[in-house]
Chain A
Amino acid sequence: MDNRLTFDLKNTDSLTTLYLIGKIDTLGARIFEKKIKEVLAQDIRNLKFNFKGVEYLSSSGLRIILYTKKEMQKRNPDSELIIEDPQKQVVDVLSMTGFLDEVVEVEYTGDKNISG
């Protein structure tokens, strides 16, 4: 098993938060895709990704984010995909590619002591 990306899933009544830790490069994206398909197979209403532990995101990861958003919108056209606590370099990539605001919303939980 490749340990470059690990997960933690937290469910409340209306919100599912997937915590990701590691690298979402081309190899991590494969693990991410598998995991997200598993998560989307459940009847979830709102989904958040916590990216505090994500130090690296490349275009292969962006593709999975876009896929997730499309799948969520099939269920509910108004659904939003929130990325919580992303590191600076990851926000830069989201912003440069037009993902920020158009595909995902970024939220910070108040823990400002984020490395990056």
Chain B
Amino acid sequence: MGSNIKLKSKIKNWKILSQFIELFLQKYYCDKKFIYEFLLSCEEIFVNICLYAYKSSGGEISVDICVLENYIKIVFSDSGIKFDPTKFENKNINSKIYDRRPGGLGIFLVKKFMSSMKYARKENKNILVMTKKIGR
């Protein structure tokens, strides 16, 4: 059981994508905490693709979401320049907060909230697969 949406890489499209994801998650009775953590993770990825993979050029982002046994799986694919958010590490999370690189915070949260996150570069596309386990 899955669903797909294709969007232009514009930040304002987060509104459409977040509604699309939220509706899907609600169908599978995900609780408020699950939805919040899942949406936050997707937002970070979507924004990063818009800002880094496509930069000013712009392009299309395709999002597939499906339910798999006790997981929700979401796949982001884009034709932008190679961009691997899993490498976007925030090594200095323990350093003084004021000195931190702001960009790493979002990905740090994605890694905390999602059960898995895998990146691949295939046929000039960035493919990011994330899963989150349903239930506690």
Residues of chain A at the chain B interface (Cβ within 8 Å): 2, 4, 25-27, 55-56, 58-60, 62-63, 66, 70, 88-89, 93, 96-99, 102-103, 116
Q: In B80-98, which residues have CB < 8 Å from any A CB?
A: 93-94, 97-98
CA distance A27 to B43 in the complex (A): 10
A102 with B97: CB separation less than 8 A:
yes
* B109–A96 touching, CB < 8 Å: yes
Contacts known (A25-B18, A98-B97); A89 close to B105, Cβ less than 8 A: no
- 6 A–B contacts, CB within 8 A, in A order: A25-B39, A56-B36, A96-B108, A96-B112, A97-B109, A103-B97
- Spell out B's residues near A (CB within 8 Å): 11-12, 14-15, 18, 32-33, 36-37, 39-40, 43-44, 47, 93-94, 97-98, 102, 105-106, 108-109, 112
A27:B40 contact, CB within 8 angstroms: no
Residues of B within 8 A of A116 (CB): 32
- CB within 8 Å: A-B pair count: 59
Chain A: which residue is nearest B108 at the CB level? A97
Q: Which residues of A contact B33 (CB under 8 A)?
A: 88-89
A27 and B93 contact, Cβ closer than 8 Å, known pairs A56-B39, A63-B102, A66-B102 = no
Task: State the Cβ distance, A17 to closest chain B Cβ, in Å.
Answer: 24
B40 touches A97 (CB 8 A): no
Q: Is the CB of A58 within 8 A of B44?
A: yes
Q: A89 contacts which chain B residues (CB < 8 A)?
A: 32-33, 36-37
Docked pose: A102 CA to B94 CA in angstroms = 11
Chain B residue, CB-CB nearest to A96: B112
Please give, as numbers and ranges, the residues of chain A lying within 8 Å of B97 by CB-CB distance: 66, 98-99, 102-103
> Cα distance A96–B94 when bound, in Å?
11
**CA–CA, A102 and B95, complex, Å:** 11
Minimal beta-carbon separation of A62 from chain B (angstroms)? 6
**Alpha-carbon separation in the docked complex, A89 to B33 (Å):** 7
Q: How close is B46's CB to chain A, nearest CB, in angstroms?
A: 8
Contact A25 B43 (CB under 8 A): yes
Closest to A102 in B: B97
